[in-house]
Amino acid sequence: MSNKERESRSFWEEEDSLLLENDRKRRRRVMGLEAPEPVTEREPGGPRIRQTDKPLPALKVWHSEVGGKEGRGASKGEPFFSPRTFAEVGASVELQSALAACGAVTPSHVQAAGYDVIAAGKDVILADQTGSGKTLGYLGPVVQRLRELERRDGKTPPGQVRAIVLAPTAELAQQVLRVAKSLSAGGAPFRSTIVTGEHKWGTQRKALAAGVELVVATPGRLRSHLNAERPSLQLGGLAHLVLDEADVLYGDDDFAAAWDELRGALPPRAAVAFVTATLTPAAQKAIEAQFPLVERRRGRGLHRTAQGVAEKLIDCSAGGSGAGGPDGFELKMGALLSELQESREEHTLVFCNTIEACRRVENALSRADRRGHAYRLWVYHSAVTAEGRQRALQQFAQPQAGSPQPYP
């Protein structure tokens, strides 16, 4: 390489380095992680300097771990699948074929743990972490029992239903219905429908009037159909009731009245399955008080960090900040922006516990990136229309190549 070529290469390497450094500084300023340059504002009486941001105190990390073989998570040294087969846990030949068509050739730990007790028509708490296969874990044995009842008693009579899955949101209900339809198409045919506020009342009423084996519903909409002047369905033939995300349902004040009515209408032979990824002591106590004979079946990942997930607990309490210091929300936003900057992930989900909190976080993130250079932002909560939520999910799930990423 000639001296001229070396000098040219050195020049461009230095230019690239400066560009990268300037870009890094710009992104940190955009997200409020670095104090911006003082802004000069001209007012009557002459110019003055206004500092737009103030530094936040360092926050303490109380806990940090990574799930999987490299950390203390549930999958450390443990396989995802059970050593038992579906045949060994009680699945019929028909359901083995249908499950295989859905991609489930070998049961996960939670699927193996709960199959026999659900298929036997017993009350059960089925608990394991998100992503462990709980949906097929309860749908498989429920469908197997539905098929047995159909062979014995024929199809479900008009206006009746043999199994109900309650979900806290219409989106989860739609997801469960898709899995149910896949099982049916995979070789264990049965009729199913969805009952939520996102779908037309007349269409739901017509489907229920014909009789179906499985209904996936949200509590409020199901209650409306049951309490209508001319009820859309009867529960006399119900064999299975599943509460998916039972902890979420039990934590909803609006669910209590609907649940009391539904429990009072259950036939004695109906079995109830409580499915959850977070089994709190309060929820377990409430379930066991209402169903004293309920059995508990847990997967190995309950309340543990999932494989590949980095978990960090950061203290954002404002107790020690003193008068005039940042409040709890400012501390949390500072921590959030810092973590998102460091994570450099293509997609990021930020969960809040109330709609108001969602709006505050949305506004803070929008202010941190007014020109939309650092990330794209979508909002998803019950105050957004169904069409808006669906659009947000679709756009969020799309690859973002060639466009600004969330905190690249």
| 311 in any annotated domain | no
Region at 69 (left for phi over 0; alpha for psi -120 to 50; beta for the rest): alpha
Same domain assignment for residues 267 and 330: no
Q: Specify whether 187 is located in the same domain as 251.
A: yes
| 116 CB neighbour count, 10 Å cutoff | 16
Q: How far is CA 353 from CA 100, 253, 323, 372, in A?
A: 38, 15, 27, 25
Residue 194 lies in a domain: yes
19 falls within a domain: no
Is residue 346 domain-shared with residue 288, that is, in the same domain? Answer: no
Report how many domains make up the chain: 2
Helical residues (DSSP H) of 31-123, grouped into ranges: 86-89, 93-101, 109-119
Whole-prediction pTM value? 0.70
| SS3 assignment, position 168 | coil
Q: Which helix (H) or strand (E) holds 163?
A: strand 161-166
Whether the CB-CB separation of 128 and 302 falls below 8 Å is answered with: yes
Last residue of a domain, one of 267, 298, 329: 298
- The whole-angstrom separation of Cα 408 and Cα 347 is 9
Question: In terms of domains, do 228 and 116 share one?
Answer: yes
What average pLDDT does range 269-281 have in this prediction? 93
Beta bridge pairs of residue 125: 274, 296
Q: Has residue 52 got a pLDDT over 70?
A: no
Whether the Cβ atoms of residue 261 and residue 223 lie closer than 8 Å to each other: yes
How are beta strands 39-43 and 46-50 bridged, if at all? antiparallel
In this model, does residue 109 exceed pLDDT 50?
A: yes
In this structure, what DSSP letter does residue 102 have?
Answer: T
220 and 281 share one domain: yes
* pLDDT tens for each residue of 311-365: 778 888 765 444 455 677 888 888 888 888 777 777 888 888 888 989 999 998 8
In 3D, which of 395, 396, 398, 393 has the Cα closest to residue 170? 393
Q: How high does pLDDT run on average in the chain?
A: 81
Residue 298 amino acid letter: R
The backbone torsions φ and ψ at residue 126, rounded to the nearest 5 degrees and listed phi first, read: -110, 115
If pLDDT is split at 50, 70 and 90, which confidence band does 55 have? Answer: low
Residue 88: pLDDT above 70? yes
Domain hosting residue 395, numbered range: 316-408
What does the alpha-carbon distance between residue 138 and residue 195 come to, in Å, rounded to a whole number?
19
With a cut of 50, say whether residue 167 has pLDDT above it.
yes
> Measured in whole angstroms, how far is the alpha carbon of residue 394 from the centre of its chain?
15
Nearest C-alpha neighbor of 267 from the set 194, 162, 165: 162
Residue 43 lies in a domain: no
For residues 209 and 79, give the distance between their C-alpha atoms in angstroms, rounded to a whole number: 45
Answer whether residue 142 is part of any domain.
yes
Q: What CATH number did the domain enclosing 279 receive?
A: 3.40.50.300
Both 192 and 274 in a single domain? Answer: yes
Please state, in angstroms and rounded to a whole number, the distance separating the CA atoms of residues 337 and 322: 23
Per-residue pLDDT tens for 372-404? Answer: 777 788 998 888 887 888 888 888 888 765 444
pLDDT value of residue 91: 98
Domain boundary residue among 235, 265, 298? 298
Same domain? For 283 and 373 the reply is: no
**Cα distance between residue 252 and residue 96, in whole Å:** 36
Partnered with residue 344 across adjacent β-strands are none
**Structural domain ending residue among the three candidates 298, 328, 344:** 298
The answer as to whether 5 is a domain residue is no
* Cβ count near 243 (within 10 Å): 26
Same domain, 232 and 375: no
Q: Which percentage of the chain shows pLDDT scores above 90?
A: 50
- Helical spans, DSSP H, in 186-327: 201-210, 219-226, 246-250, 253-265, 281-290
Q: Residue 48 above 60 pLDDT?
A: no
**pLDDT at residue 245 in the model:** 95
Distances (CA, A) of 113 to 75, 81, 119, 301: 17, 11, 12, 12
C-alpha closest to that of 56 among 87, 74, 81, 35: 35
